[in-house]
Structure 1
């Protein structure tokens, strides 16, 4: 009887999840991606997962965020006998350290990794393959940070944990066989946001070694303009649809989802802010070649005093690192920046690249012509799941690290 009930509930959940899939915004598979069938399957599975999570949350079986966390941690990797792996704490923050077993006569390079997941998803377990890969391929000591997640731990707890871990690692690097002058911080998606924010927070610290570099993998960097060319061109391109981007971001900082349309129109930006930020956030700063797939400038709606007040948090450089002052940007370390053509966040990266280069910061830029948001994360999985663009991105990151 119990087995039959379980089967019935599973089938019911699947049927309802599929219906939720068809209620979600449909994606468009761009012609520039050659692995179209695989990409379509990925998109279907993503929407199915979101749909199932929504359904089970509505019927009170499991919360949406907890199910999505479970899904991200599926398919754990096998043991790796080439590495020493241990869980410790950097003060209050849980971390996992990956070290090559092979002995070394000198101190190694160190990498601190901040995982993606919009501050609500992701974990050490979900990024186990990624960190093992970087450890093996670059002979580095890699530290993955298990920062606290929202909504249980509201923003900016995530940034605070990452900054705490970075400070601790820089102070104790030699205890872990790491040269303090060769510490790199890295993150993908919202982990890239955290990476940029931590690098900015450290620029004026005179009591710590300087970061050797920062690696930003398709990061979210600004919340001023959600109508940049990449937002228009890739609004319906999986897996990070334009609407999903803002929904996840607002959930992360616990803002009312009812204001999404107004945010898309720019009603959250006051006239004073518009004047200040236009020198950093403007489609005029996006190279022409990135507008050829289509771009139509849209007039900004007048600001709403209520929405401007509600949205003040999104202009904090911790949430939008592109909005940091020039005095901070000018002190940032050498940067590796990865962008994807078919990603709504592409232009965030292009604008940050320009700001860094305008201040004389050396930038190694990797643009994946067939890339989409999440492709690097998938690159460490089996061939059925990974895409060529992600593999290319990983290789570029490894080559950059080997020079550090």
Structure 2
């Protein structure tokens, strides 16, 4: 028996070595050389990828829909990392039939608190108030403001415009009836990241169109999705493996949001640029997403604009009323005059970078005050990671915005 122990030890060592190689292979993803804190990003990406794999496996095993499983797994992860601010209260309730979470500073006795309506990201499909708790509690605590975090209806169960309608209803209620929450309705801003930034921009436009009073104080768009007619912009070419949201993911979320299911043909047409025709009807819209308008540093020397050759007009005619609608694609709105001031955050490692830059340019041309903050070490989703795991760029984005909000809210 004793003579066999060395063999057992060797087998154990070999097994552990193989397991280590497999783990390293799974965790390691290529990261650009100029990216800060690459291993933190790899851990974040691995967590997300593991959740996606488990969700697909769960559906294959008959445990439920993969999207719902992914939501539950993300929720479990977030529940274990929810530090709570000592100087704020948190209340889950409803506003105009929509679930919200309201954060309020304990130490503020005045009835005239400013407020931020916060719209979370997640491709209109995943996420919720818990996933963005680190952001919303920090905003309330550091700014001495009421934060209304909106838990809007998600796709694919609820397709466009369910999510934006929920967020619009809450925003209007806060502006009209904010005094019930001890809010100064003259000091209300709207803020969102990714899909939430998409809806924050759309709602700012809708309220301006309606001449809604009181108006929003300002809008904050953090790496927002602003259009879906051209997924071949230069920033979409930077489809880095470690980036949480690439071209395929954006096509998938769009399919969920406007169709209610994963339409692989639709997604392929979005990705390869054969969904939208370049014709007289769309010419004005494509002018709003013209890469030639980008600053030179964002336009690769060898970049050539994609020209579709085989457009599925049947598919296009079935979705164009949504894709050209500014309620879905704020960048494509013709008249941007009169909008509230905008604070726009964009990052280098993100397929959505170009549309944020193009939108800020169009706002300037429309005489709308707009600040564009570009973070060379940032990536899509990093704003939500300023505490755990605590990326330096995430903290920088938060601190810069807090300075802006302290002065303008």
Alignment of 1:215 with 2:220, yes or no, is yes
Indicate which of 380, 390, 404 corresponds to 1:386: 390
Alignment of 1:163 with 2:168, yes or no, is yes
Alignment of 1:301 with 2:313, yes or no, is no
Alignment of 1:355 with 2:366, yes or no, is no
Q: Distance in 1 between matches of 2:301 and 2:39?
A: 22
Alignment of 1:314 with 2:316, yes or no, is no
Match of 1:266 in 2: 273
Match of 1:4 in 2: none
Q: Secondary structure at the match of 1:184?
A: strand
Alignment of 1:123 with 2:120, yes or no, is no
Contact 1:133/1:380 (<8 A) preserved = no
Alignment of 1:132 with 2:137, yes or no, is yes
Q: Distance in 1 between matches of 2:143 and 2:38?
A: 32
Match of 1:6 in 2: none
Q: Distance in 2 between matches of 1:81 and 1:27?
A: 38
Contact 1:28/1:238 (<8 A) preserved = no
Deviations 1:162-190 (A, max 9, x none): 00000000001222222111100000010
Contact 1:233/1:295 (<8 A) preserved = no
What TM-score does the superposition give when structure 2 sets the normalisation length? 0.87
Match of 1:45 in 2: 47
Q: Against the structure 1 CA distance between its residues 147 and 60, is the aligned structure 2 distance closer, same or farther, given a 3 Å change threshold?
A: same
Match of 1:66 in 2: 68
Once the two structures are TM-superposed, the CA of residue 71 in structure 1 deviates from its matched residue by: 2.6
Q: Distance in 1 between matches of 2:301 and 2:183?
A: 45
Q: How large is the Cα RMSD of the aligned pairs?
A: 2.2
Q: Secondary structure at the match of 1:249?
A: helix
Q: Distance in 2 between matches of 1:295 and 1:380?
A: 37
Once the two structures are TM-superposed, the CA of residue 65 in structure 1 deviates from its matched residue by: 1.1
Indicate which of 82, 92, 97 corresponds to 2:87: 82
Match of 1:284 in 2: 292
Q: Distance in 2 between matches of 1:350 and 1:398?
A: 21
Q: Distance in 1 between matches of 2:313 and 2:385?
A: 42
* Length, aligned pairs only: 379
Match of 2:341 in 1: 334
Match of 2:11 in 1: none
Match of 1:325 in 2: 334
Alignment of 1:377 with 2:379, yes or no, is no
Indicate which of 150, 155, 174 corresponds to 2:155: 150
The 5 A counterparts of 1:188-199 are: 188-199=193-204
Match of 1:403 in 2: 407
Match of 1:364 in 2: 371
What stretches of structure 2 of length at least 5 have no aligned partner? 1-18
Higher-Rg structure is: 2
Once the two structures are TM-superposed, the CA of residue 302 in structure 1 deviates from its matched residue by: 4.3
Q: Distance in 1 between matches of 2:157 and 2:391?
A: 34
Once the two structures are TM-superposed, the CA of residue 223 in structure 1 deviates from its matched residue by: 1.1
Deviations 1:1-50 (A, max 9, x none): xxxxxxxxxxxxxx9xx99x98xxx9641122121122222222222221
Q: Distance in 2 between matches of 1:50 and 1:293?
A: 36
Q: Secondary structure at the match of 2:280?
A: helix
Q: Secondary structure at the match of 2:179?
A: helix
Contact 2:123/2:250 (<8 A) preserved = no
Q: Secondary structure at the match of 2:338?
A: coil
Contact 2:266/2:275 (<8 A) preserved = no
Q: Against the structure 1 CA distance between its residues 233 and 273, is the aligned structure 2 distance closer, same or farther, given a 3 Å change threshold?
A: farther
Q: Distance in 1 between matches of 2:269 and 2:157?
A: 27
Q: Distance in 1 between matches of 2:129 and 2:63?
A: 25
Moved more, 71-80 or 274-283: 71-80
Match of 1:12 in 2: none
Q: Secondary structure at the match of 1:394?
A: helix
What stretches of structure 1 of length at least 5 have no aligned partner? 1-14
Match of 2:7 in 1: none
Contact 1:29/1:237 (<8 A) preserved = yes
Contact 2:235/2:354 (<8 A) preserved = yes
